[in-house]
Structure 1
Amino acid sequence: MIPILNINNFKQQSSAKDYFYSNHLDVHLKKNVHHFEKPHKHDFYLCVFIVEGEGIHEIDFHNYDIKPGRVFFLKPGQTHFWSFSSTVKGYIFFHTFEFFSLSMSELHLNEFPFYTLNKSYLDLSEDKAVHFTSVFKNIYEEYSNDLAFKRARLLSLVNLLYIDFLRIFNENTIPDQSQSANDLLVVEKLNVLIEEYYKTERRALFYAEELNITVRHLNRITKKVLGKTFTHLLHERIVLEIKRFLVHSKLSLAEIAYELGFEDYANFSKFFKQKTDESPTKFRKRY
């Protein structure tokens, strides 16, 4: 199965090693080449800023171009790997959920759309890229030095960075599509529920009751925030997990069907083909 990496897999001589990590991207990749060239997951939040270089970044079976000025975001549980066509430079940092939850910020991680809505990247203009290069450098330098109030300053720097990214995201969002903090919170709670129950619970009513809202209101929020119905969102999660099993496990198709709560292989195969236009066998061979 897919390995799940922890921050302690990237130990440094730093007092922040259990909750935060930062490095120059090229140095990080050179030290951890055995990780990034094959699919893996993390149990932490990850942010990567590309200053130079090209290639492909695959996140949950979607390919994204690696290019200067692009910032990538990954939240815990997403599967990804890198394929570079040239030398890359930039910065990387990641942190645990607990690290940011200790912040005195009025904002919560679930209010940042680049994590909550799976917006996997943000493109910066040339002048903004110059500015953020220095911001990422400051974060790396603070991480590298064990000075007084280190954790507090790292929290402040990351919080300000995320707020700046949130502003850029909102600038690029059509005004009538901007989301309220409450709607984003409902979507984040829904994502947590789906992650916990998608193998056994497929009824919209179950999730609506867990959120103390009606099914109609649930669909209204998912359509407003994500442009998708609840059913579409749930099915996307199931299909993603099927793909992960097909590609990254040696289980038979019948075993995968059982693992994901399907009554039998026929229903499993029919469901996957309806959602992807190809059979599980064809997908596994093609990939």
Structure 2
Amino acid sequence: MNSGIETLSDFYRGRRHIIFPLSTEGVEEGRSHFNIFPRKHCGFRTPYNRRDFYKLTLILGQGEIVYQDQTILIDKPALFMPCPSVPYLWTCLSDDQTGYCSLFNQQFFKGYQDYEIIRTASLFGEDSNPVLFLDTEQVVLISSYFEQMMEAAVSSYVYKNDIIRHLLGLLMHTVLSRVEGKQTDTVNQSSAPELAVRFHELLKRQFPLDSPANPLMMKSPSDFARELNVHVNHLNYVIRNAFGKTTSAVIRDHILDEAKALLLNTQWDISQVGYCLGFEEPAHFNNFFKKNTSVTPLRYRKRIVANI
């Protein structure tokens, strides 16, 4: 199985037979993007890949999902919300496939209050359950959200993206409150275990990085302390107790893992990989990577390609 990164361009390239309501041009330029389409056009089998975008899919039809180390049978209506950094494989088990699929990137929600849902709630997390089975009432409600998003997408209304953002945010709120039965944590000063969880979720949600034009935003303990509204010394104390490492070490390990993934799964220049990870100068990224792996980024990429 291949576990590379499927980009938005890859997604559209493999679905040239579908007429999408919104433009598919310029998707690799780091711009805000959203699209939606009926699942009657879905393929029988998707590649086993990570994605550099979010997908939110209403599945009406039977199928099977291979996700991380589990196989999930879809034998009733379900909402599928995979974490972009987790590779998965979808296989249809019935010819009758309906519902809707929506896809969007982080930029689509930037500057919009409901973007906080994606960043801080339990949706799209690596440890979250990606499949939520729905009862009849929930299918009717969630179908209406997708139908309204589709209507907005095909309309000529100049502010249709605002309508779509509201509907998408409302859909995610519905998932949190009705389906998962969880509420987003809005308390700034959490207990130590809660703070550790919020920090870790905030860190993980920065990955995978989808474009050199969108570099890592939070890369230091002070960045996370500011976002979590706690003193950096308190954050460092909590993280050391929770993970047995300093906050800087936990962040470093995630950045290093992402660096390896980008070197393996993209064709970006070494300087682009470094810049995307927050290193303004290529030499700084080179020194960081060599210090933690004993090889340069270029040497690492060559070894992997050569299967050494």
> Could you state the TM-score of these two structures normalised by the residue count of structure 2?
0.57
Per the alignment, residue 302 of structure 2 pairs with: none
State which of 161, 165, 168 in structure 2 corresponds to 1:151: 161
Contact 1:7 1:20 in 2 (8 A): no
RMSD over aligned CA atoms reads 3.9
Shift of 1:25: 1.4
State which of 6, 11, 24 in structure 1 corresponds to 2:38: 24
More helix by share: 1
Contact 2:36 2:101 in 1 (8 A): yes
Give the alignment of 1:177-192 within 5 angstroms: 179-180=185-186, 182=188, 183=195, 185-191=198-204
State which of 70, 78, 97 in structure 1 corresponds to 2:78: 70
State which of 238, 241, 248 in structure 2 corresponds to 1:217: 238
Shift of 1:71: 0.8
Q: Counterparts of 1:192 and 1:131 in 2: how far apart (Å)?
A: 28
Tell me whether 1:133 sits opposite 2:147 in the alignment.
no
Shift of 1:193: 7.6
Q: 1:5 is aligned with what amino acid?
A: E
- Segments of 5+ residues of structure 1 without an aligned counterpart are 197-205, 223-229, 246-258, 264-287
Q: Counterparts of 2:105 and 2:80 in 1: how far apart (Å)?
A: 17
Q: Counterparts of 1:191 and 1:64 in 2: how far apart (Å)?
A: 23
- Segments of 5+ residues of structure 2 without an aligned counterpart are 28-32, 189-194, 210-218, 225-231, 244-248, 265-289, 295-308
Per the alignment, residue 6 of structure 2 pairs with: 5
Tell me whether 1:61 sits opposite 2:69 in the alignment.
yes
Query: What SS does structure 1 have at the residue aligned with 2:123?
Result: helix
Per the alignment, residue 56 of structure 2 pairs with: 47
Shift of 1:141: 2.6
Q: Deviations over 1:111-142 (max 9, x none)?
A: 23122363212222221112212221222232
Query: What SS does structure 1 have at the residue aligned with 2:81?
Result: strand
Per the alignment, residue 305 of structure 2 pairs with: none
Contact 1:71 1:121 in 2 (8 A): yes
Q: 2:35 is aligned with what amino acid?
A: Y
Contact 1:52 1:67 in 2 (8 A): yes
Shift of 1:44: 0.6
Shift of 1:220: 7.0
Q: 1:44 is aligned with what amino acid?
A: F
Q: Deviations over 1:84-103 (max 9, x none)?
A: 22133221101000101232
Per the alignment, residue 91 of structure 1 pairs with: 100
Shift of 1:188: 2.5
Contact 2:81 2:131 in 1 (8 A): yes
Q: 1:217 is aligned with what amino acid?
A: V
Tell me whether 1:112 sits opposite 2:126 in the alignment.
no
Q: Percent identity?
A: 14
Query: What SS does structure 2 have at the residue aligned with 1:113?
Result: coil
Q: How many aligned residue pairs are there?
A: 218
Q: Counterparts of 2:88 and 2:82 in 1: how far apart (Å)?
A: 9
Shift of 1:165: 1.0
Gap change, CA 1:13 and 1:117, over 3 Å in 2: closer
Gap change, CA 1:103 and 1:193, over 3 Å in 2: closer
Contact 1:14 1:146 in 2 (8 A): no
Q: Counterparts of 2:103 and 2:122 in 1: how far apart (Å)?
A: 17
Query: What SS does structure 2 have at the residue aligned with 1:107?
Result: helix
Shift of 1:217: 1.6
Query: What SS does structure 1 have at the residue aligned with 2:66?
Result: strand
Q: Counterparts of 1:122 and 1:150 in 2: how far apart (Å)?
A: 28
Q: Counterparts of 2:177 and 2:150 in 1: how far apart (Å)?
A: 23
> Could you state the TM-score of these two structures normalised by the residue count of structure 1?
0.61
